[in-house]
Structure 1
Amino acid sequence: MNVLGANVAKGLIEAQALDEVLTIITPVMLGDGVRLFDHPGGTQVKLERTHFSTAEHATNIWYQVKY
């Protein structure tokens, strides 16, 4: 299952129901948005990089979420 959107992903992380995160880095400024890992006073989300790849204008990084 794919999850799109920081609010949904944040809720799944809090419920310990998300097992993998794909981060796509591109040279585009999108402006303001919801921070996925912004949890003031909360626990730190532990991620382990499992794979990465590159394309002409993007870097894809896969992480396993460690609970």
Structure 2
Amino acid sequence: MGGQCIEAGLLDEVLVFSAPVLLGDGSHLFDRPDGTQVRLKPLAGESAHWYRIVR
């Protein structure tokens, strides 16, 4: 769902939470089958887990 919102240009910022759970080989935050990457930039003055999506 998050990846679809990014594709549509509907998201400007992302707040990321993680839990220490074993997920096999790992899980991509935003899986993009076309191979393009989602670039995230930390927001100044916010927590270490709040990012702006770089377009």
Runs of 4 or more consecutive aligned structure 1 residues displaced over 4 Å after TM superposition: none
Structure 2: 5+ residue stretches without partners: none
- How many residues are treated as equivalent by the alignment? 51
Higher strand share goes to which structure? 1
Q: Distance in 2 between matches of 1:40 and 1:15?
A: 15
RMSD: 2.2
**TM-score, length-normalised on structure 1?**
0.58
Structure 1: 5+ residue stretches without partners: 1-7, 54-60
Percent of paired sites with the same residue: 39
Q: Distance in 1 between matches of 2:52 and 2:35?
A: 19
Q: Which residue of 1 aligns with 2:47?
A: 52
**TM-score, length-normalised on structure 2?**
0.67
Matching of residue 22 in structure 1 with residue 15 in structure 2:
yes
